Amino acid sequence: MTDTPLTLTHPDKLFIGGDWTNSSGSETIQIVSPSTERHVGSVASATMQDMDRAVAAARQAFDHGPWPRMAGAERAAYLHRIADEMAKRSDDFARAWSLQVGMPFRQSSASAPFMGGYYRYFAGLAEQGFEEVRPSAQGGHAIVVREPVGVVAAIVPWNAPLATLSLKVAAALAAGCTVIAKPSPETPYEALILAECVAAAGLPQGVFSVLTADREVSEHLVRNPLVDKVSFTGSTAAGEHIAAIVSGRSGRITTELGGKSAAIVLDDADVGTVVAGIMPNLVGLCGQQCAAFSRILVPQALKHAVTEALSAAMAQVTVGDPFEDSTQMGPLVAQRQQARVLDYIAKGRAQGAQLVTGGSRPAHLAKGWYIEPTLFTDASNDMIIAREEIFGPVGTIIPYGSEEDAIAIANDSDYGLSGGVFTQDPERAYAMGRRIRTGNFGHNGRVIDFTLPYGGFKHSGVGREGGVEGLHGFTEIKTIFMRTLPAHLQR
User: Catalytic residue numbers?
Assistant: 256, 290
Of 23, 39, 19, give the one whose Cα is nearest residue 31: 39
**Separation CA 43–CA 41 (nearest Å):** 7
Provide CB contacts within 8 A for 237, sequence distance 6+: none
Element (H, E) at 439: none
Reported as half-sphere exposure (CB side, CA atoms, 13 A), residue 9 has a value of 15
Alpha helices per DSSP H over 128-188: 161-175
Q: How far apart are the first and last CA of the chain?
A: 64
Instruction: Supply the angle between the helices 116-127 and 72-88 in degrees, to the nearest 10.
Output: 170
What is the DSSP secondary-structure string of 205-220?
TTSEEE----HHHHHH
**Separation CA 230–CA 251 (nearest Å):** 8
Provide CB contacts within 8 A for 461, sequence distance 6+: 239, 254, 255, 256, 257, 417, 439, 455
